[in-house]
Amino acid sequence: MNEPDFAVSAANLTKTFTLEWTRKRLLALDGLDLRVRRGEVFGLLGPNGSGKSTTLKLLLGLIRPTTGQARVFGQEAGSLASRRRLGFLPENPYFPGFLSGREVLNYYGKLVDLHGQRLRARVEELLELVSLQPAAGRALKTYSKGMLQRVGLAQALLHDPDLLLLDEPTAGVDPVGSRQIRDLILALKKRGKTIIFSSHLLEQVQEVADRVIILHRGKKIQEGTLDELLSVQGQRQVTVSGLTPELQEQLVAWLQNAGAELIAVTQPKQQLEDYFIRAVSK
């Protein structure tokens, strides 16, 4: 199994945990088949406990599958060669609160073997990418949740990985902050990165993911592009302005005469989140 076209390919990936006290077996991931193409933004969706973090940890090699296997750019998950090309934002990244954003990135940069001028340049480049330069000298304990997630993203990018694994990158982040994170995901896609992220906040996935899977109790229950999953087959929506009550009546009569079935006449609404962001950015 060597598929360089795929950033990630996994076959029959299964993970059972044995619970410590009761020795009961818990099936956290059940026979997952997964293929993520290079350059794709891929969403792992599902409620809490459905196996999203387990999937990401298996791809990282932080835990070993009970059966099945996963490959990252053709290399076995967990191997050094696969890890070199991976960046990871954990669900709740922990950084010492007394360090500044710049200090944390310098520290992690050294861990991935950056030094001197190269390290300094890379840290500034990433601070700019995640829009944290103005706050880079402040202690992390003064950062918002959204800012901390962006520090975590910058950390994951230090060694310029090809694949990013982001575990709930927008959980607990306010609307403006999570908008910034989603814009960043799109910017990284433009730079050719492959991004796999998990979310239980379904409405936030819509604008960024090319394809998604939905997990439920460790099983894949859906897979596809959002268009495939969300478009209502056999119906069309027409949006018009200047429709007077008389015109509407005529239009409805005309449609019915022509054999079309009218399902709804509704007023288009903006998403509450867009409305909120427009209101606060004024």
Ligand X SMILES: Nc1ncnc2c1ncn2[C@@H]1O[C@H](COP(=O)(O)OP(=O)(O)O)[C@@H](O)[C@H]1O
The binder of ligand X chosen from 45, 52, 72, 177 (CB under 6 A)? 52
Considering beta carbons, is residue 46 or 61 the nearer one to ligand X? 46
Q: Is the CB of residue 58 less than 8 Å from the CB of residue 70?
A: yes
Considering beta carbons, is residue 54 or 155 the nearer one to ligand X? 54
* Binding range to ligand X, per CB under 6 A, among 43-51, 139-147, 181-189, 229-237: 43-51
| 53 lies in the site for Mg ion, by CB under 5 A | yes
CA distance 100 to 3: 41
SS in 3 state form for 18-48?
ECCCCCCEEEEEEEEEEEEECCCEEEEECCC
Site string for ligand X, 2-41 (x = CB under 6 A): ---------------x-x------x-x-------------
HSE-CB for 118 with a 13 A CA cutoff: 9
| 50 lies in the site for ligand X, by CB under 6 A | yes
Scanning the structure block, which residue is given the tokens 């969403």? 43
| 90 lies in the site for ligand X, by CB under 6 A | no
| 178 lies in the site for Mg ion, by CB under 5 A | no
Closest CB 89 distance from ligand X, rounded Å: 14
Task: Answer with the entry of ligand X, Mg ion, none that 51 interacts with (C-beta below 5 to 8 A by kind).
Answer: ligand X
CA distance 65 to 57: 10
Task: Answer with the entry of ligand X, Mg ion, none that 50 interacts with (C-beta below 5 to 8 A by kind).
Answer: ligand X
Q: How many helices (H) and strands (E) does the chain have?
A: 9, 10
Q: Is the CB of residue 60 less than 8 Å from the CB of residue 88?
A: yes
Nearest in space to 176 (alpha carbons), one of 42, 275, 47, 46 = 275
DSSP state of 179: H
Task: Answer with the entry of Mg ion, ligand X, none that 28 interacts with (C-beta below 5 to 8 A by kind).
Answer: ligand X
* Binding range to ligand X, per CB under 6 A, among 45-53, 150-158, 221-229, 250-258: 45-53
* Binding range to Mg ion, per CB under 5 A, among 21-29, 52-60, 175-183, 230-238: 52-60
- DSSP-derived 3-state class of residue 72: strand
- Please give the residue ranges that form the binding site for ligand X (CB under 6 A): 17, 19, 26, 28, 46, 48-54
